[in-house]
């Protein structure tokens, strides 16, 4: 054991808290229970001296000075009163200065002092007992965060007292590898001699398996997630085959489904998948718990949503599709209006919680309607996509109750409708998706607000001049007369249907056709 900093990572020393003084000043050689602070000057160098009784402030100054003069590694205080500033009241400014100058750490511990001494002796000796204690601690910690490689590596590092990193091992390092559902997991840590080295090797092997395999059925959950993503984007004629695979993986494809679609509009396209992947497990944890107060650390409790059915009758799965996170709730029977309201309420709480953790992501969420069976998954997901708010106002919205968006999606599902939309918007689509989509969204906002540039600018968070410039560009490209009611209606339908189209279906703005020649 090299120093106090490494000592404090040892199992059984969780209750020891550093107060003042350096933690890496010298080597720890042993531990000693000391009932009399006036005998500290005689302790061996490198000793961790544990005082059995509280020491008043004026005597603590002397104790720290004597411990430093003897070359002690640390002085452990017990039974002291904590002051408002966070340090025990007995730790004076003089004691702090003496600890820094004398290179001795001052610590605080409560609880079983005999167990504390045993833990220090075990850690200092680097015995087989210490190695076994570290492996046992790692087994508890890494399994609690299984399936999250970053947190598993951190937990393994805490148990071992050395850094554990997600990478291949280099020269002079120990390593472990395990095959997971998303690829191979590699962990590396510094090599240690003797029993400590055995602990490093054992913990790395355990941690690699935990990181790759996941906990609480995480492997099948991830497999179901990938299948759900495939089901959402595959051609409709493949739905039956994918549904059979889903049943084999316990994906409840035959139930009633309500889809949530979460988009990160505040991030550029290159950063969205990583950000959404990072929040996916947090979202699932919250959604799978009716009262998600304790699901995310550092967040306040939220009131429970109305629950028309018991929580364990509703299953949640997730997939990353088209730079968005799709969260799918599945019910054993038609959830009806109560289930839809409960799902919407839960979506609002979850997005609000996640937005607090990732404010830069600009999270927005659309909620679909209940639909049954494998094709119902796709339908509800399409509705959720159409419901994602695009302008000012709430960041969570449900598919319209009157069915306008559903009618548009059903209309747009026909080849005739898609061809009409593509022909009408062809000059804009020919600009490519990155340039076409802002124009189409501006046109939709402009038409939705009765050709008012000011109201469209407010809804789209644009300057009025920017709206006017985009509309002039569209008129120039299409030759459309926006004063004609029939033209306005056709363009409005085309924009709404095209921007709400599923990503795998042809049509604007994701698969622009060749430019059409207009006469």
Please give the full DSSP string across 429-480, using - where no structure is assigned.
HTT-HHHHHHHHHHHHHHHHTTT-HHHHHHHHT--HHHHHHHHHHHHHHH--
399 has pLDDT over 90: no
Would you tell me the crossing angle of helices 404-412 and 415-429 to the nearest 10 degrees?
90
| Residues 494-499, mean pLDDT to the nearest whole number | 69
Cα 403 from Cα 406, distance rounded (Å)? 5
**What is the structure's pLDDT at 504?**
43
Which region holds residue 111: left if phi is over 0, alpha if psi is between -120 and 50, else beta?
Answer: left
| Assigned token pair, 181 | 């559902």
| Assigned token pair, 433 | 């998706």
Q: What is the pLDDT of residues 311-344, one digit of tens each?
A: 447 888 888 888 899 999 999 998 887 888 888 8
| Residues 494-518, mean pLDDT to the nearest whole number | 48
Residues present in the chain in total:
519
Is residue 394 within 8 Å of 344, Cβ to Cβ? no
Percent of the chain with pLDDT over 70: 80
Q: How confident is the model at residue 262 (pLDDT cuts 50, 70, 90)?
A: very high
| Residues 207-229, mean pLDDT to the nearest whole number | 67
Place of tokens 């720290």: 64
| Assigned token pair, 419 | 């061809």
Q: How confident is the model at residue 219 (pLDDT cuts 50, 70, 90)?
A: very low
Q: What is the pLDDT of residues 407-438, one digit of tens each?
A: 666 666 666 666 767 777 888 888 887 888 88
Q: How confident is the model at residue 189 (pLDDT cuts 50, 70, 90)?
A: very high
Q: How confident is the model at residue 487 (pLDDT cuts 50, 70, 90)?
A: confident
**What is the structure's pLDDT at 497?**
64
Lowest model confidence (mean pLDDT) among 96-110, 403-417, 500-514: 500-514
218 has pLDDT over 70: no
| Whether the predicted model's global pTM rises above the 0.85 cut | no
Q: What is the pLDDT of residues 105-151, one digit of tens each?
A: 888 887 778 777 887 877 777 667 777 888 888 888 887 777 778 88
**What is the structure's pLDDT at 367?**
92
Cα 367 from Cα 262, distance rounded (Å)? 9
**What is the structure's pLDDT at 260?**
93
The DSSP secondary structure of 276-325, one letter per residue, reads HHHHHHHHHHHHT-SSGGGTSTT----PPPP-SS-GGGSEEEEEEETTEE
Q: Which residues pair with 50 in a beta bridge?
A: 33, 76
Percent of the chain with pLDDT over 90: 10
**CA torsion angle 373 375 376 380 (round to 10):** 150
Rounded to 5 degrees, what are φ and ψ at 177? -135, 145
Nearest to 257 by CA among 317, 311, 338, 309: 317
**What is the structure's pLDDT at 328?**
92
52 has pLDDT over 70: yes
Residue with the larger pLDDT of the pair 285 and 447:
447
| Residues 32-54, mean pLDDT to the nearest whole number | 86
Average pLDDT over all residues of the chain: 78
**What is the structure's pLDDT at 257?**
94
| Residues 152-156, mean pLDDT to the nearest whole number | 89
**What is the structure's pLDDT at 501?**
52
| Residues 2-12, mean pLDDT to the nearest whole number | 73
DSSP 3-state of 484: coil
């Amino acid at each position: 054991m090299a120093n106090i900093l490494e000592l404090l990572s040892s199992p059984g020393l969780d209750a020891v808290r550093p107060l003042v003084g350096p933690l890496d000043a010298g080597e720890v050689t042993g531990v000693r229970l000391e009932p009399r602070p006036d005998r500290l000057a005689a302790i061996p160098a490198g000793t961790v001296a544990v005082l059995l009784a509280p020491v008043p402030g004026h005597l603590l100054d002397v104790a720290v000075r004597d411990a430093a003069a003897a070359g002690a590694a640390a002085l452990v205080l017990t039974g002291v009163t904590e002051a408002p500033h966070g340090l025990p009241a007995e730790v004076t400014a003089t004691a702090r200065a003496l600890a820094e100058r004398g290179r001795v750490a001052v610590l605080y511990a409560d609880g079983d002092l005999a167990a504390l001494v045993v833990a220090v002796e075990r850690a200092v000796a680097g015995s087989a007992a210490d190695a076994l204690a570290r492996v046992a601690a790692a087994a508890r910690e890494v399994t609690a965060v299984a399936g999250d490689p970053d947190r598993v590596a951190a937990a393994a590092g805490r148990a071992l007292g050395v850094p554990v990193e997600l990478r291949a091992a280099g020269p002079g390092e120990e390593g472990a590898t395990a095959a997971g559902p998303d690829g191979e997991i590699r962990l590396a840590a510094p090599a240690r001699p003797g029993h400590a080295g055995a602990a490093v090797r054992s913990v790395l092997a355990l941690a690699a398996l935990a990181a790759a395999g996941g906990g609480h059925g995480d492997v099948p959950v991830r497999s179901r997630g990938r299948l759900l993503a495939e089901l959402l984007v595959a051609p409709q004629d493949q739905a039956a085959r994918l549904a059979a695979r889903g049943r084999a993986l316990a994906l409840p494809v035959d139930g009633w489904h309500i889809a949530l679609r979460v988009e990160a509009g505040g991030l550029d396209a290159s950063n969205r998948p990583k950000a959404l992947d990072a929040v996916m497990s947090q979202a699932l944890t919250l959604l799978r718990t009716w009262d998600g107060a304790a699901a995310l650390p550092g967040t306040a409790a939220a009131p429970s949503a109305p629950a028309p059915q018991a929580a364990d009758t509703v299953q949640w799965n997730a997939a990353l599709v088209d730079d968005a996170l799709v969260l799918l709730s599945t019910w054993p029977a038609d959830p009806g209006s109560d289930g839809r309201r409960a799902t919407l309420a839960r979506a609002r709480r979850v997005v609000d919680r996640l937005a607090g953790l990732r404010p830069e992501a600009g999270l927005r969420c659309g909620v679909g309607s209940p639909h049954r069976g494998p094709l119902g998954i796709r339908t509800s997901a399409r509705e959720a996509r159409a419901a994602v708010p695009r302008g000012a106002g709430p960041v969570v919205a449900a598919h319209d109750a009157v069915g306008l968006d559903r009618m548009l999606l059903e209309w747009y599902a026909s080849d005739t409708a898609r061809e009409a939309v593509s022909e009408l918007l062809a000059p804009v689509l020919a600009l490519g998706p990155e340039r076409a989509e802002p124009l189409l969204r501006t046109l939709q906002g402009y038409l939705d607000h009765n050709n008012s540039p000011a109201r469209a600018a407010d809804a789209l968070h644009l300057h009025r001049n920017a709206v006017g410039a985009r509309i002039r560009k569209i008129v120039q490209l299409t030759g459309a007369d926006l004063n004609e009611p029939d033209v306005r209606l056709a363009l409005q339908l085309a924009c709404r249907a095209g921007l709400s189209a599923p990503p795998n279906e042809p049509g604007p703005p994701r698969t622009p056709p060749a430019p059409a020649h207009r006469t």
